Structure 1
């Protein structure tokens, strides 16, 4: 058996196998899309499906004030955020205002010296420099203190944002936010989506020239790709592939993106680089890159940003290692929610670190950097699907100095002396709300696929459902097949390349980070894989491929290392429920955690998921008892034999009769002096002669003194089976035949039968083999 790492949920009847002709229709039906017009609108969204910007409250007031500022020559400051959504929003609104003829500049706070969002000092400085109007993008909905300062300074403030509202609203001339607009039906726009709506209203036309910025910010901010977000992302992907924006062209080059840009290129190539700048320093270079028309300047900034991203990756790697060690040092304190704090951690990357901890430990994680001189800690949190981080954080809002974010991500500041309380509170909240399965990554499986139906055409049809992301995940498919090849790949051998086979059909698969599972699968065993279908292109050829997300085996497996001295290398990682059992004390190089079979049989209940058999039992019944008691999921046969009763052959009745006749005829047999004669004439081995003598001695057919064997004149007729040594040899030979010299399928069948059937050992030996 191989347990899945994820919690698998089949969203369909598992007996239904998807057909090539209707796979897209099946997937659309699961989304509730069955009408032709609905399907057409989903697969081919158009500008006409977007909501009218005028439905957003605050736009009329905002436009009136912006028009007034332009007419009077007043200076306008665009106040943005330092992430990819924020810098694309800033760029978009600056370009809009420039097109309208406004005098404007932009400002993005420094994460390390100012923290998140508008702050009083920044507004005071803006007023001092002569700005009369501040427009926030992707921020401001929780800037209560800064908004009050703006009012005192007579600095007009327009807030555009999309983050969660914290019970009340800041004081502002206008607030443009989907959740503040009862008439606006779509509530999940990204910050750049809200900025785009403002730009459209200000310009009086649909500004498609900004769609490249919109798709980056929308995908980067992980908002649900449904409704308007899907339309904007789909149109944006079409536009970004035609975009002449120098910054995007340069980013594409440094990110190694070739061909058409898709949502994965944005999510894993473009947005991490735009985010990296604000994580380690000021985010201004990211905005400068997107604003510039100079190709050489764009290339220079993009190269600089790429180097910063590489530095960010190294910092993340180091902090993740330190954070993982802290969790493992005190697992009980972080049982339901991980809350870590350490001096010197770079607060700019703690959201990424928290995300990696969530993936590793499958529970919410909060990472904070200690600022001892200020008596506070700042950081970020990420969560699992079942735990709303924002809602739960707001329920204990009094424990934070600052707090904000979304259901799955939040930023916070907390007094150092409150960190322990915060950890306890979050763990109590999660402990009361979550079930054990909630701590597993959730896998919503869309369809089961037969390998005979897989084709490039099918995969291309599935790609019509893109762009994939939140609320529109890439379809997850389920396949049952046999592994015919499994090997580790990658520089560190941490990835898995697997070939799955159904009858004559094969499918190549790749599982990133699953290299350790290579030794967890056996041939002839059905495995189940879930993953995403894609087209693999190699040396000019194209073929279907599965990008594996998880694997499981629901039947017991037998791993055959008989006669191999390399089994220890294969069993490098075992869990606490792995038991190593041996049958011969002192006769085997034992594993340090091994247990003698008689001790195992008399021990209190032991949980056994994997049973490692280190040596051959003297009789099948001993192993049968162990198997029935332990009921292991998997069995590893690691035994070898130097002296085989089965191969050498036990003496038969004629052998015993000949030797006894020799002793009777001669009156004695001197084993030390005469054994070489028997070995030469009968071609027997020495141990065979000694075994016959031992059996006769136990039956009292002969008497032995100083190696001289003499017949017993008072002999009593007995069958050979009365000899204990003879019985052991028969049992040992039988064990060797069944366990050592059988083929793999015979071995597997016998071992599983002892666990799964009610037949006796004798019946299995006679009938099973």
Structure 2
């Protein structure tokens, strides 16, 4: 404060962003002011200036109130401060209302009476501009805070914001803030590797977690402290709060999606509310819903004692959330925000009404067909083109963020290899892509379930962001998955000596049984949402019609042509090949001519052979497997070598010589062996290609 300026003994800073508070706190202290900062508690004070809080702080002696990162909608609180003789300076960047509050000054990059050349400053960006004006010079040492706050605010990373973040990252790598240093140590952040992703995914979530779960003041203290012990203690607390936040987010997200599963699929906007949902993380949950469904979402906690539901909303480019809520302002208690995000409080009885109105707003404005998050592709690459050198060249475009997104590339019609789930909860996907003689590793966070839908050696098209993976001194390119499309039919190998238990959990599928005994034994295991088909004769095969897009071959047919005919008349998107073999005829093989001769010789020299009761003894005596003995006898019976009456077998005298191969039973057994050899024991790639050919031939 200049020599002739009136000294302000106490100031009050109201904010959302902790970085904004830290910037103005340090600035006012630099010019000799005494600062008493106050961060509104989102659970007690709501959003924006709070009249009761203003009254209390003025009573305590505050002579000037400066807001940061909020205030343009705080008419009532500011009017009350004016009545009590205290000026209010508003610094904010949020959506401007039609009527500005009656503050001493409103500092806003899009002020209707101003002409500032860049209107997308973040809350901390506006605070930094105010700091620059107060100090008469650019406070370079504050740019580390500006970089953190700007990235956390998800504002446009273009123009002045880009310059602020670029310079801020340089300062952040060598920051002297001992609180940040302590946080870096706990989070295992290497200073030299800090970039916008470090801030967006590691630093900012930890700082924000404190305010999301309660009083955000400790986060400001962490950023501004000069005490080593306090810094270490605060960093530990911030770390623990972030872990606690993650737990809340996981639980509420799961519950929210359970609610969505029961809602009308035609819903354009989701409004979800439930008791005991932690209000501090509802914006994160809403973002996750938008990311997965492509639809705007409002998530609220219900407080029955107050009769209110309070929470946050997130949107998509096609749906202006602030305007939509402004259209139903009469149904809300309070709300604020901008195009892509909002906070609101509404009476419980208005929840359903607001959901209907917000959905009607989408329809009335022709937005229904535009809903959904599109993935914009910057270019298509061959895998061999995705080199480390290319990734390093692309990094020159950084810092990446809103309006300057990291380039997304398409790899079209490539082969999937080594597909598997990873992570403690198996929530993530890892696979390798192949194209000619080039390979690319892919990591897909929260794509774990998709692994079950991608067959080995399947043709896929993927989009994602290129990165460099460093491990043990080796650097290689990897793709961070954004989306993928599975091309053509997917065939999965579930062949085993036993039917896998997981097979019976497959819903919305057609289960095909070729063996009547298997059908009787296992049909009760088929889920009620799926269909079981017993195809034990040609008539049943001809009448078969798929009822879903998934086809499961439970057991092995007696003839390869049965599967060929079935596939040629079907259009499955997914095939699961189990082909369980109860008898294992391929392993047992066809009895040798010597064994046939053994049995014939025995029947020719014995009469009244009791095969009903003494078959096992006969098999042991002849040293022939029992099932092979049964087969030999069936062939002899068919070609007239023996007769069987009441379980007693005798040879036929003076029979004409016949070839064993003429017997239908012999030919059937031969086909069964060939079928098992192909369906059960062939290399999967051979089986997969054959199945795809049969389906494609019919299209």
Q: Same fold (TM over 0.5)?
A: yes
Q: What is the CA-CA distance between 1:275 and the residue it aligns to?
A: 1.4
Q: Distance in 2 between matches of 1:378 and 1:333?
A: 25
Partner of 1:265: 198
Q: Distance in 1 between matches of 2:616 and 2:249?
A: 74
Tell me whether 463-472 or 443-452 shows the greater mean CA deviation. 443-452
1:219 is aligned, of 141, 151, 158, to 151
Tell me whether 464-473 or 197-206 shows the greater mean CA deviation. 197-206
CA contact (8 A) 1:585 1:596 kept: no
2:44 is aligned, of 110, 113, 130, to 113
Q: What is the CA-CA distance between 1:555 and the residue it aligns to?
A: 2.8
Give a deviation string over 1:150-207, Cα, whole Å, max 9, x none. Answer: 3333332222211112333222232221222552232211011112122222322222
Partner of 1:36: none
Partner of 1:400: 332
CA contact (8 A) 2:68 2:127 kept: yes
Give a deviation string over 1:78-118, Cα, whole Å, max 9, x none. Answer: 43323xxx221122123222333334432222222211111
Partner of 2:303: 371
Q: Distance in 2 between matches of 1:671 and 1:344?
A: 76
Rate the CA distance shift 1:699–1:532 in 2: closer, same or farther, 3 A.
Answer: same
Q: Distance in 1 between matches of 2:31 and 2:386?
A: 53
Give a deviation string over 1:543-573, Cα, whole Å, max 9, x none. Answer: 323333344431323222333436334x586
Partner of 1:77: 11
Tell me whether 292-301 or 417-426 shows the greater mean CA deviation. 292-301
- Structure 1: gaps spanning 5 or more residues: 1-65, 760-769
Matched, 1:442 2:374: yes
Partner of 1:142: 73
Q: Normalising by structure 2, what TM-score?
A: 0.86
Q: What is the CA-CA distance between 1:653 and the residue it aligns to?
A: 10
Q: What is the CA-CA distance between 1:602 and the residue it aligns to?
A: 4.5
Rate the CA distance shift 1:281–1:662 in 2: closer, same or farther, 3 A.
Answer: closer
Q: Distance in 2 between matches of 1:436 and 1:630?
A: 32
- Structure 2: gaps spanning 5 or more residues: none
Partner of 2:547: 606
Partner of 1:177: 108
Matched, 1:200 2:144: no
Matched, 1:582 2:523: no
Rate the CA distance shift 1:743–1:113 in 2: closer, same or farther, 3 A.
Answer: closer
2:571 is aligned, of 624, 631, 647, to 631
Matched, 1:747 2:681: no
Partner of 1:493: 426
CA contact (8 A) 1:81 1:116 kept: no
Q: What is the CA-CA distance between 1:413 and the residue it aligns to?
A: 0.6
Partner of 1:41: none
User: For 2:510, what is the secondary structure of its paired residue?
Assistant: strand
CA contact (8 A) 2:416 2:434 kept: yes
Q: What is the CA-CA distance between 1:719 and the residue it aligns to?
A: 9.9
Give a deviation string over 1:29-76, Cα, whole Å, max 9, x none. Answer: xxxxxxxxxxxxxxxxxxxxxxxxxxxxxxxxxxxxx979x7122446
Q: Distance in 2 between matches of 1:547 and 1:689?
A: 60
Q: Distance in 1 between matches of 2:229 and 2:455?
A: 56
Rate the CA distance shift 1:683–1:414 in 2: closer, same or farther, 3 A.
Answer: same
The alignment covers a number of residue pairs equal to 683
Tell me whether 692-701 or 477-486 shows the greater mean CA deviation. 692-701
Rate the CA distance shift 1:123–1:682 in 2: closer, same or farther, 3 A.
Answer: closer
1:618 is aligned, of 555, 558, 576, to 558
CA contact (8 A) 2:499 2:580 kept: no
Which is bigger in relative contact order (C-alpha 8 A, separation at least 6)? 1
Rate the CA distance shift 1:597–1:755 in 2: closer, same or farther, 3 A.
Answer: farther
Partner of 2:179: 247
Q: What is the CA-CA distance between 1:391 and the residue it aligns to?
A: 2.3
CA contact (8 A) 2:12 2:62 kept: no
User: For 1:154, what is the secondary structure of its paired residue?
Assistant: coil
Q: What is the CA-CA distance between 1:674 and the residue it aligns to?
A: 12
Q: Distance in 2 between matches of 1:436 and 1:528?
A: 25
Q: What is the CA-CA distance between 1:272 and the residue it aligns to?
A: 1.8
Q: Distance in 2 between matches of 1:600 and 1:412?
A: 60
Rate the CA distance shift 1:651–1:742 in 2: closer, same or farther, 3 A.
Answer: same
Where in structure 2 are the equivalents of 1:531-680 lying within 5 Å? 531-565=464-498, 567-569=500-502, 571=503, 574=506, 576-587=507-518, 589-590=521-522, 591-593=525-527, 595-598=532-535, 602=543, 606-608=547-549, 610-645=550-585, 670=609, 672=611
2:99 is aligned, of 160, 168, 191, to 168
Give a deviation string over 1:100-147, Cα, whole Å, max 9, x none. Answer: 333443222222221111122233334334444322211011112223
Q: Distance in 2 between matches of 1:471 and 1:637?
A: 46
Matched, 1:422 2:359: no
Give a deviation string over 1:587-633, Cα, whole Å, max 9, x none. Answer: 3542323512447865776121x211101123334333432344112
Give a deviation string over 1:15-41, Cα, whole Å, max 9, x none. Answer: xxxxxxxxxxxxxxxxxxxxxxxxxxx
Superposed CA RMSD: 3.8
Tell me whether 234-243 or 318-327 shows the greater mean CA deviation. 318-327
Rate the CA distance shift 1:734–1:434 in 2: closer, same or farther, 3 A.
Answer: farther
CA contact (8 A) 1:615 1:638 kept: yes
1:156 is aligned, of 72, 80, 87, to 87
Partner of 2:31: 100
Tell me whether 639-648 or 203-212 shows the greater mean CA deviation. 639-648
Rate the CA distance shift 1:653–1:184 in 2: closer, same or farther, 3 A.
Answer: same
Q: What is the CA-CA distance between 1:688 and the residue it aligns to?
A: 5.2
User: For 2:580, what is the secondary structure of its paired residue?
Assistant: coil
CA contact (8 A) 1:78 1:90 kept: no
Give a deviation string over 1:437-471, Cα, whole Å, max 9, x none. Answer: 844x5322223333333433222222111111111
User: For 1:444, what is the secondary structure of its paired residue?
Assistant: coil
User: For 1:90, what is the secondary structure of its paired residue?
Assistant: helix
CA contact (8 A) 1:211 1:232 kept: yes
Q: Distance in 2 between matches of 1:393 and 1:600?
A: 58
Q: Distance in 2 between matches of 1:674 and 1:346?
A: 75
Rate the CA distance shift 1:696–1:228 in 2: closer, same or farther, 3 A.
Answer: same
Where in structure 2 are the equivalents of 1:306-385 lying within 5 Å? 306-328=239-261, 330-332=262-264, 335-385=267-317
Q: Distance in 2 between matches of 1:522 and 1:264?
A: 32
Partner of 2:19: 88
Rate the CA distance shift 1:572–1:205 in 2: closer, same or farther, 3 A.
Answer: farther
Rate the CA distance shift 1:539–1:718 in 2: closer, same or farther, 3 A.
Answer: closer
Rate the CA distance shift 1:360–1:600 in 2: closer, same or farther, 3 A.
Answer: farther
Q: What is the CA-CA distance between 1:236 and the residue it aligns to?
A: 0.8
Rate the CA distance shift 1:340–1:488 in 2: closer, same or farther, 3 A.
Answer: closer
Give a deviation string over 1:224-264, Cα, whole Å, max 9, x none. Answer: 11111111111111111122123322332233212322112
